[in-house]
Amino acid sequence: MNIAVLSGGNSSEYTISVKSGRNVKKWLEESGFSCYLVIIKDKDWTVIFEDHELPLDKNYFGFKKGNETIRFNFAYNSIHGTPGENGKIQGYLETMNIPYSGSGILSSALTFNKYACKSFLKQHNILTAESSLVRKGQQYEPEIIIERVGLPCFVKPNNGGSSFGITKVNHLDNLEPAIQSAFREDSEVILETFIKGVEVTCGVLKTKNEEFVFPVTEIISKNEFFDFEAKYTSGKADEITPARINNNLTKKCQEAASSIYDLTFSKGLVRVDFIIKGNQLYFLELNSVPGMTTESIIPKQIRAMGLEEKEVLRKIVLDEMFE
């Protein structure tokens, strides 16, 4: 079996995604699979083979290695952002009848759109911060937005990750520049009420025969919030696993992460982020393709559970290959 490890993508998360892809490839090869790193950027899909970069033929999802044609039987999706997390790559793979890791088209599209996901989960009594949506080209009144979400608030690209384009706004005068900054990442901007509390995150993996709800990680950013620098620069954040919260809150967080996984039709390995305020748990977002770099949280949670990355990824591949 030949596995294409998809990485790259068309967002600011490109570099992080390639790092994740290289780690995934290494762990899958340690599990005994034949893997190739595939880097996607716009219309260019490139297979990395030894020291060569070879074009991937989308007509049969494979490539030419000399006179030999290599066809991929499985795709492991490590693309953060578009087209990996919003359902687009999933649509292509399903059209080609290629099994793949992670959530399907509907789930990916839903969870990638922060405003849609929050609105959907509210219907299922999941607590989340008050929010407002602004679209590029749409008129909006900053004062009315602030009446709804209050100050401080967070301004974020509605479809994006790794904290690119996010600003914490403390004063009304800073709202417009923050919105314009987020518009550089996306055509939609979500504004959310700032909730002061403990930030935690919990990984979940469910296969046909097993369920894994990983230990909860507490995130303490040394910046004003858990921004890109804090996420990927050593020493800029403390990620404590297990989180320093009581057993009841830990159980509540794990149960909520598992429930949200099911409600959003998730598959494979995901990460669900929360803020704890008092005894209340507020949903932040769901990452359907969580980072797998050496700095990323999920590999640390896997190891904290006494497992190895290679065995977890092997379970994901086999679960999808033998449905």
Predicted confidence at residue 232, as pLDDT, reads: 53
Given a cut of 60, whether residue 64 has pLDDT beyond it is: yes
Predicted confidence at residue 223, as pLDDT, reads: 63
Shared-domain flag, residues 203 and 312: yes
Given a cut of 70, whether residue 323 has pLDDT beyond it is: no
CB-based burial of residue 144 (10 Å sphere; 0-12 exposed, 13-18 middle, 19+ buried)? exposed
Helix (H, G, I), strand (E, B) or coil at 184: coil
pLDDT per position as a tens digit, 82-127: 999 999 999 999 999 999 999 999 999 999 999 999 999 999 999 9
Shared-domain flag, residues 157 and 46: no
Cα 215 to Cα 205: distance, rounded to the nearest angstrom: 12
pLDDT mean over 192-214: 97
Shared-domain flag, residues 171 and 203: no
Q: Number of helices and strands (H, E) in the chain?
A: 10, 17
Shared-domain flag, residues 120 and 174: no
8 A C-beta contact, residue 98 and residue 74: yes
pLDDT per position as a tens digit, 263-306: 999 999 999 999 999 999 999 999 999 999 988 999 999 999 99
8 A C-beta contact, residue 103 and residue 111: yes
Shared-domain flag, residues 267 and 235: yes
Predicted confidence at residue 221, as pLDDT, reads: 79
Helix (H, G, I), strand (E, B) or coil at 1: coil
**Angle (CA) 206 262 313, round 5°:** 25
Helix (H, G, I), strand (E, B) or coil at 130: coil
pLDDT per position as a tens digit, 281-293: 999 999 999 999 9
How many CA atoms within 13 Å lie on the side-chain side of 108? 25
CATH number at residue 135: 3.30.1490.20
List of E strands, the chain: 2-8, 34-41, 44-49, 52-55, 62-65, 68-71, 74-77, 131-135, 153-157, 167-169, 188-193, 198-206, 211-213, 217-221, 237-240, 268-277, 280-287
Shared-domain flag, residues 118 and 236: yes
CATH number at residue 55: 3.40.50.20
Shared-domain flag, residues 169 and 241: no
**Angle (CA) 94 84 39, round 5°:** 100
Given a cut of 80, whether residue 234 has pLDDT beyond it is: no
8 A C-beta contact, residue 256 and residue 126: yes
pLDDT mean over 154-163: 80
Structural domain boundaries, residue 27: 2-100
- Point out the domain boundary residue: 142, 171, 193: 193
Shared-domain flag, residues 94 and 202: no
Q: In total, how many domains does the chain have?
A: 3
Phi, psi of 130 (to 5 degrees): -60, 140
8 A C-beta contact, residue 172 and residue 146: yes
CATH number at residue 229: 3.30.470.20
Shared-domain flag, residues 120 and 142: no
pLDDT per position as a tens digit, 3-39: 999 999 998 889 999 999 999 999 999 999 999 999 9
